[in-house]
Structure 1
């Protein structure tokens, strides 16, 4: 009988849903995995894509997690100093087997004091903020440093999910998940990093989030 593996994602208002739902879909295929979407209440939580996610747990009902994952999102600035959120993340992070993030979620791990002297990934727009929290930024889609595993921006969450699936259940299980999900990306454009996209597109994207505070 497979032991349960409790994997929790913090879901907050204006979270980037793919940061959470992408790896959650991958990790749901790990034998024994139980996925938790967690917020202060179990009321629907609006995402930055315009639809809501229904949490499975609140901070009090959430069990001790084997994996805690913090996704990024446009609403993250509103919780970077939220003591209830930071206390929950810190409490779970101090006992979890793996402390993880996707996109700008690594900054919230840092704000909770969980990335000091660790290497970490982050969305390229915010990667230079990691040293503010004692972390070492790394420009990779997935970064592993001891029991900290972090994914880069948004779509890197799928790569992150497969990496974590291998950690939890082995390479074969991760490959089965990859094949089941037909994860064989071949995008129609090659503009997924600032270096590939060029300065004009980079400036356009920076302008899109110029008023967002994280």
Structure 2
């Protein structure tokens, strides 16, 4: 499984890191074969919304070669959704099997056209912004509609990561990861948020 983590200037790092910490355990635990990941952006270096600078390994790669893309959020998404070059790049993930976002990263999935006819969620402060892009805004911590997974605000990235692990592997693997992360809040077996 090949994962593309989409990073951009002024993103919220916890949106990214919570999911990243959880989902990469499927490779560490060999719960899936050949798990690898790339950090992808529209530039080689990005700065988050609090000044942390990160180097990015892939600049504008063709996303069609990945099995999963993940997009974090942050205030920058409100403008980035109108950036034709950036959204055009995200659209290269059209045939990627799994598409994920946390927080207002859902606005970018939506702007790329991936949420049409789908249920989705985002940060509660952006429910109204998400509404034009999807069939229904679901006010939950995480939502799955087919192979589209969306998470709520910021710390929901951890829950979404564990939910994706459980969905793609098993409850047992999700339990192992939450123990390794010392994260007692996620409850396995809750599949009632599916679309």
TM-score range, shorter chain: 0.7 to 0.9
Structure 2: distance between partners of 1:39 and 1:178: 29
Give the 3 Å change call, closer, same or farther, for CA 62–145 of structure 1 in structure 2: closer
Moved more, 48-57 or 15-24: 48-57
Unmatched runs of 5 consecutive residues or more in structure 1 = 186-214
SS of residue in 2 equivalent to 1:139: coil
Which residue does the alignment assign to 1:200? none
Matched, 1:53 2:59: no
Contact 2:63/2:92 (8 A) holds in 1: no
Moved more, 165-174 or 131-140: 165-174
How many equivalent residue pairs? Answer: 180
Within 5 A, what are the aligned runs for 1:52-201?
A: 52-60=53-61, 64-92=65-93, 94-185=94-185
Specify the structure having the higher radius of gyration (Cα).
Answer: 1
2:26 corresponds, among 27, 30, 42, to: 30
Structure 2: distance between partners of 1:49 and 1:159: 23
Provide, for residues 55-109 of structure 1, a one-character-per-residue CA deviation record: whole Å limited to 9, x for no partner: 12111376711111111112223311112211221111x2111111100111111
Provide, for residues 31-62 of structure 1, a one-character-per-residue CA deviation record: whole Å limited to 9, x for no partner: 243222211232x2100122112212111376
TM-score normalised to structure 1 length = 0.79
Unmatched runs of 5 consecutive residues or more in structure 2 = 28-33, 186-195
Structure 2: distance between partners of 1:161 and 1:97: 16
Contact 2:41/2:59 (8 A) holds in 1: yes
Structure 2: distance between partners of 1:54 and 1:61: 18
Give the 3 Å change call, closer, same or farther, for CA 26–71 of structure 1 in structure 2: same
Structure 1: distance between partners of 2:165 and 2:92: 23
RMSD: 1.8
Provide, for residues 178-199 of structure 1, a one-character-per-residue CA deviation record: whole Å limited to 9, x for no partner: 11111114xxxxxxxxxxxxxx
Greater relative contact order (CA < 8 Å, ≥ 6 in sequence): 2
